[in-house]
A and B are shown apart, each in its own frame.
Chain A
Amino acid sequence: MPTFQVGIPRALYIHIPFCATRCYYCDFNTYTFHKELSKVYLSALGKEMEWYVQGLSEKPTLDTIFIGGGTPSILSAESLAYLFNLLHHHFSVSNRTELTVECNPGTVDQEKLEVMRSAGVNRLSFGVQAMQDSLLESIGRVHKSDDVRHSLDLARQTGVQNINLDLIFALPGQTLEQWQQTLETVIRLSPEHISTYNLTLAHGTQFYDLWENGNLKLADNDLEAEMYQYAITRLTDADYQHYEISNFSRPKYEPRHNLVYWNNQAYFGLGAGACGYIDGYRYTNLRGVKEYITEVRQGTPISSQEKLVGRARKAETLMLGLRKLAGISQEAYQQCFGEPIDAEFGAAVEQFKNQDLLQWTENRLHLTPKGLMVADQIFLEFT
């Protein structure tokens, strides 16, 4: 039974804000990779870890760690080893800890994978996005579809047996057929987990600028819906459980890390632009790498934080919990807030129930298949 209460987090996110190049759709906090800068950055990460664990009687025990980016796999084997040393030095990481590293196909090699494996990495997440080279090129990816197969083989050979592939649909110019083809190819690769993300047009991306000037045609809402529907049907058919809006996993391979977010549990967030959630405070670090490094030396790089209370916190809990297809447990909610969901949101829940968008099953409130398609519309009522 997950609870929403927070103490010392048992989850950790580490941000590696470096990439070879920026993809056209990407607005993440990432910068061009410089080897020297990345080394200084890692040592700053060490400082930040120290800041969090100082004064604790023992190292915090972690159930799940996610090293994301950016492209963590762009770090050299040596740097990766350094990073894992830091991790083990400050935190208690066991072989039961889920330890994921985000990788880009083509940026991993035998040596890096060995370093990861021996440091306890037991899950890899690859940004595949699409399986057509032309499409990959058109969105600014540097890898080719063959790199995916190759990297995956390498990973399996090294002994990582829990692999996620990230996919994006509704890319500009992408046809339904191409999306279907991507899914087929990916299913054949048999990863333990697949994420399917609808392209989001974000401010400050190349795509956004093109679109604003009328030079980019986006998929229309109907095509997006068809692609999403297709993914749900096809992946479910292929024995993937659709457990969250964008996520599918083989039975027993639901990643703990994702669930921490949806269950409104606490996590450390380390690195430039990283977000964390401790003692009810959501905080965000400084985004700039140099600013982050400078501030870490003087104390904490946190640039903003907020603590939600009252309705806002209840709404957030609902918004997160409803992203899971299993929905949110009345019992857990009540434990946290001392009242049932209906106390605050009774009218909205009733309305959505009548519209067949929400449903109660075994004391859990969850989206219906229809509600899943328009979840944001529902979340709007819970803000």
Chain B
Amino acid sequence: MTNQYIRNYCILGHIDHGKSTLSDRLLEFTNTLSQREMKEQVLDQMDLERERGITIKATVVRLEYLAKDNNTYELNLIDTPGHVDFSYEVSRSLSACEGAILIVDAAQGVEAQTLANAYLAVDQDLEIVAVINKIDLPHAQPEQVKTQIEEIIGIPADLALAVSAKEGLGIQDVLEAIVEQIPAPAGQAVAPLKALVIDSFYDSYRGVVLYVRIFDGEVKKGDQICLMAANCNYEVEEVGVFMPEMRCVDKLSTGSVGYLTASIKEINDAKIGDTITHWDNPTLEPLPGYRDTKPVVFCGLYPADTNDFTGLRDALEKLKLNDASFNFEPESSIALGYGFRCGFLGLLHMEIIQERLEREFDLTLIRTSPSVQYKVYKTDGSIVQIDNPAHIPPADQIDRIEEPYIQAEIIVPSEFIGNIMDLCQKRRGAYVRMNHLDATRAQLIYQLPLCEILIDFYDKLKSLSRGYASLEYEIGDYKSSKLAKLDILINEKPVDALSTILHRDMAYERGRALSRKLREIIPRQMFPVPIQAAIGNKVIARETVRAFRKNVTAKCYGGDITRKRKLLEKQKEGKKRMKQVGNVEVPQEAFMAILSIDDDE
């Protein structure tokens, strides 16, 4: 098969607009999977992906399609993650494609993610095939959506396809459009190997399995290859394609997409976006766009049961095999014992890792409040990067603190603009501009401190717009802010795991809310427990958990002593799960209290 019969494409769209369903239909139509093998969301294999309806890791599947022109085409569908946390990964997946199907819900229309995805595709010079999905819905408005596509996204929609993936309508049209509209991959067959690492996963038998797109040349078993950014040498053990199960082939040639294994043990050697070439006859230039991704959101993860520390470390190491983008290092907290400081690409990424640790490794974790990485300029002229509020130097050594900002793009129905602007204002947002997308919707651009969207921002955004507002963001620059460290003292003792960094103007309010919340969470003890919020030496809020005055079980009914004893034992177990802060027993939820504070209360 020469590359004129290859098409490499992806499907982009807002969450719930039908990406996975369309992928399923394409697989079905081309008999890539038999009816028996078919299940919903075939490409999202992780439980988490299936439950949340999101794609976390890229996958690739090859479809063979006999087109109306009587030629059989190799259609490589590259299923990309679909969340802002993974925008770099998405960009690398897209660069492996020549075209993208942009799927838009016929009833919901263009949304923030649609737009952001469309821009990404345009940036990569992809040919965009617009697909209007869910035309079977009673309130579908395909014509209006076409207008939106033209006016908001700015791409012609005259060829937009009307599809119902759910009902299987228009599927062949999509396949034909892929063949006709998306260009065949360019590239020189007779040239040094140049291949892109789209993603990778760890297989305990094969080592790291790389998803690759061949741009120039070809690769086969036995080749000595070089991963250019890592500058390391491996011998190829196996090349193959995804049908969707892995099928070994003789070689991968120009334009094709498949996998490659080379007994790579260290996932850090196989970074997404890196270029693979031959060791002896390397390409001159690596592919553009490679970037070393850096975590932007940090939190402490601690085993609820301190005996699980080793278990947590093993689990983190295992997950890390599959995901080079998060990192962790041991840290300890006076209140929580030994745990890990972990860095993530974003909030979703953090949640996913935590959930996978708990589910796949049966751990119960305490997560401390998420933080960004601050740059602290000290009075002695040095700069320290801090991602754990507990490590901020004393106030008198700090000249200034800088924090990372994001550029947020929010699409919102006109009637909720006021609400959303208020929200951004409250979160220290700086208004950049507003674009009216059409008669009913606007796009708001704000510069926001990243830390302000870490807690509760997305939920607020949704509730203030009855679910209609959507958010995309890009990580921007560091800016200097009036930041301070808020300490919480329980029974006069500062609790390191409860410290946060926040803007001075919010300190009073947040300190009060947090101490109030803690008062609710911490049960009464044998003595009154003062809870204080302080900045430096200054206490800005104080609450007291009163001592319980009575704690005694009334009765042992009918001489049921065993039951009474078991109740006490259960209580004792409960006590053991609490964390000891000085002589105060603090439940685990307390360390996550900040996540459940509503500033409006």
Contact = CB atoms under 8 A, between A and B. Distances in A.
Interface residues of A, number: 42
Nearest to A379: B568
Interface string B139-173: 00000000000000000000000000000000000
A238 to B, nearest CB: 20
Given A261-B556, A379-B568, A380-B575, A275 B562 contact: yes
Which of B557, B559, B564 has the most chain A CB atoms closer than 10 A to its own CB?
A: B559
Contact of A373 (B524, B550, B557, B563): B550
A225 B526 contact: no
B553 interface: yes
Given A319-B568, A380-B568, A68 B549 contact: no
A202 to B, nearest CB: 10
Interface in A318-354: 319-320
A316 B554 contact: no
Interface in A233-287: 245-246, 260-261, 267, 269, 273-277, 282, 284
A373 B551 contact: yes
Interface in B557-598: 557-565, 568-569, 571-572, 575
Contacts of A312: 565
A316 B561 contact: yes
B1 interface: no
B147 to A, nearest CB: 48
A199 B551 CA distance: 12
Interface in A22-52: 28
A375 B551 contact: yes
B561 A269 contact: no
A225 B568 contact: no
A374 interface: yes
Contacts of A319: 564-565, 568
A190 interface: no
A267 B562 contact: no
Nearest to B560: A275
A376 interface: yes
Nearest to A221: B548
A28 B557 contact: yes
Contact of B526 (A261, A267, A355, A379): A355
A275 B563 CA distance: 10
B554 A200 contact: yes
Nearest to B554: A197
A54 interface: no
B190 interface: no
A376 B571 contact: yes
Contacts of B569: 383
A383 B550 contact: no
Given A282-B562, A372-B552, A383 B557 contact: no
Contact of A284 (B555, B562, B564, B575): B562
Nearest to A323: B556
Interface string A175-206: 00000000000000000000101111000000
Contacts of B564: 319
Given A200-B554, A224-B550, A374 B565 contact: no
B554 A373 contact: no
Contacts of B554: 197-200, 245-246
Contacts of B553: 198, 200, 375-376
Given A197-B554, A245-B554, A355-B526, A376 B568 contact: yes
A13 interface: yes
B565 A383 contact: yes
Contacts of B524: 221
A380 B576 CA distance: 11
A267 B559 contact: yes
A225 B565 contact: no
Contacts of B572: 380, 383
A267 B572 CA distance: 28
A275 B526 CA distance: 33
Nearest to A228: B550
B550 A275 contact: no
Interface string B533-559: 000000000000010111111111111
Given A221-B548, A275-B558, A284-B560, 7 more contacts: A195-B555, A275-B562, A373-B550, A374-B552, A375-B552, A375-B553, A379-B568
8 contacts: A13-B559, A200-B553, A221-B524, A221-B548, A274-B558, A319-B568, A373-B552, A380-B575
Interface of B: 524, 526, 546, 548-565, 568-569, 571-572, 575
Interface of A: 13, 15, 28, 68, 195, 197-200, 221-222, 224-225, 228, 245-246, 260-261, 267, 269, 273-277, 282, 284, 306, 312, 316, 319-320, 355, 372-377, 379-380, 383
Give 3 nearest A-B pairs by CB, closest first: A225-B549, A225-B550, A197-B554
